[in-house]
């Protein structure tokens, strides 16, 4: 493994902590850990960096501190506790790193990391587990598939790895009701009782109560979080770091109950809506309009041109007056991604706002 790299580790949970174990043993350089989650009691049986004394503290802080201490400060480690998808982490932030290790557990975060990879040009080693299954592959802008070149299924599974004392989503309430409340009280373990207890907890934390069918789906699709799977996937991540150094980019590793399989990845999908467009990053002022940006980037507007702000339409031929409207008044802010599309062109523009500017800057 190459020494002195600057690595971004996103996710300090099951996979991320296992990766840290391996890096401590033979890596010297800099690691930045990003994770917004706090340590829960239910983490302790699989995430060995954390102890009872660490409960309610941020995973990223404790893991970062442990990396520095256990490596005898051979690794320079720092941490952030913000959500990786927030505008706090700009394209310029991602450009500081030689490699991004994606150890997150949800699709929105994976999509965002992949988009930041395309915009910053920094490669990602993507990973994930589901019970006894796992997957690890490299995302290298313009050379391999990005996360959204593939059709990502909306079908969810729910790893039962953390029972959150402070839930933020409905499935946190369902898992707490089934494994903490119902199990401990010896109550009849029925769908109705779990749903009732989940609803009471959701109301307590201002979470929308879902239909009982959603509760049933969560229970049906709940899978175990297996520490040995996390450890094997972490080893494959470190292997992929070595492959990335050597320029071997197209190996995809799949893990199941029986073996580890390596398959050959393919080139980016030409019509991918994320890595297919020409990528730009641009800094705007408070009076900058869409027309200013298009002129600055020398993008011509024709009859079939549309402009999207994330997924919302902000310009087509019926909204020509919006061309000269200040973008800030249209809800554009630092972190906004604009897409300019027509039959001939496709551009993705990352926006950074600097209100002191009077013109656009790349």
Task: Please identify which residue in the block is written with the tokens 């229970």.
Answer: 219
Rounded-to-integer distance, Cα 354 and Cα 361, Å: 10
225 forms bridges with which residues in the sheet? 131
Angle at 93 (CA atoms; ends 90, 97), nearest 5 degrees:
140
Q: Which region holds residue 29: left if phi is over 0, alpha if psi is between -120 and 50, else beta?
A: left
Angle at 361 (CA atoms; ends 360, 362), nearest 5 degrees:
130
Rounded-to-integer distance, Cα 348 and Cα 340, Å: 7
Give SS3 for 155. coil
Rounded-to-integer distance, Cα 143 and Cα 43, Å: 37
Q: Residue 233: name the closest of 131, 155, 84 by CA.
A: 131
Sequence-separated (6 or more) residues with CB below 8 Å from residue 176: 163, 164, 167, 198, 201
Rounded-to-integer distance, Cα 115 and Cα 113, Å: 5
Give SS3 for 236. helix
338 forms bridges with which residues in the sheet? 309, 349
Q: Is 146 a catalytic residue?
A: no
Angle at 259 (CA atoms; ends 102, 113), nearest 5 degrees:
10
Q: What does the CA dihedral 175, 181, 184, 189 come to, rounded to 10 degrees?
A: -70
| Catalytic, out of 146, 161, 173, 360 | 161
Residues annotated catalytic, as ranges: 161
């Amino acid at each position: 493994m190459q020494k002195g790299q600057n690595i971004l580790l996103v996710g300090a949970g099951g996979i991320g902590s296992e990766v840290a174990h391996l890096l401590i043993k033979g890596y010297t350089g800099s690691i930045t850990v990003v994770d917004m989650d706090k340590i829960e009691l239910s983490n302790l049986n699989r995430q060995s960096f954390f102890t009872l004394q660490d409960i309610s503290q941020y995973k990223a802080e404790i893991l970062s501190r442990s990396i520095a201490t256990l490596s005898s400060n051979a690794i320079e480690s720092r941490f952030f506790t913000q959500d990786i998808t927030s505008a706090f982490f700009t394209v310029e932030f991602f450009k500081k790193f030689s490699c991004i290790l994606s150890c997150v557990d949800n699709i929105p975060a994976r999509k965002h990391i992949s988009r930041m990879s395309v915009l910053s040009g920094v490669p990602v080693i993507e990973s994930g587990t589901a019970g006894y299954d796992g997957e690890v592959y490299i995302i290298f802008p313009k050379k391999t598939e990005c996360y959204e070149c593939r059709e990502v299924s909306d079908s969810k599974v729910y790893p039962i790895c953390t029972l959150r004392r402070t839930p933020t989503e409905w499935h946190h309430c369902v898992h707490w009701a089934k494994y903490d409340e119902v199990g401990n009280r010896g109550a009849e373990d029925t769908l109705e009782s779990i749903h009732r207890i989940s609803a009471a907890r959701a109301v307590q934390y201002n979470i929308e109560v879902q239909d009982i069918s959603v509760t049933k789906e969560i229970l049906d699709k709940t899978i175990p979080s297996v520490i040995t799977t996390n450890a094997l996937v972490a080893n494959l991540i470190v292997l992929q770091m070595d492959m990335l150094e050597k320029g071997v980019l197209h190996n995809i590793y799949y893990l199941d109950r029986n073996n580890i399989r390596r398959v050959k990845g393919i080139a980016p999908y030409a019509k991918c809506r994320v890595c297919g467009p020409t990528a730009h990053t641009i800094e705007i002022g408070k009076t900058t309009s869409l027309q200013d940006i298009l002129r600055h980037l020398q993008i011509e507007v024709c009859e079939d041109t549309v402009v999207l702000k994330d997924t919302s339409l902000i310009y087509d031929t019926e909204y020509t007056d919006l061309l000269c409207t200040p973008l800030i008044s249209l809800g554009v802010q630092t972190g906004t991604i604009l897409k300019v599309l027509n039959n001939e062109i496709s551009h993705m523009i990352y926006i950074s706002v600097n209100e002191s500017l009077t013109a656009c800057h790349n």
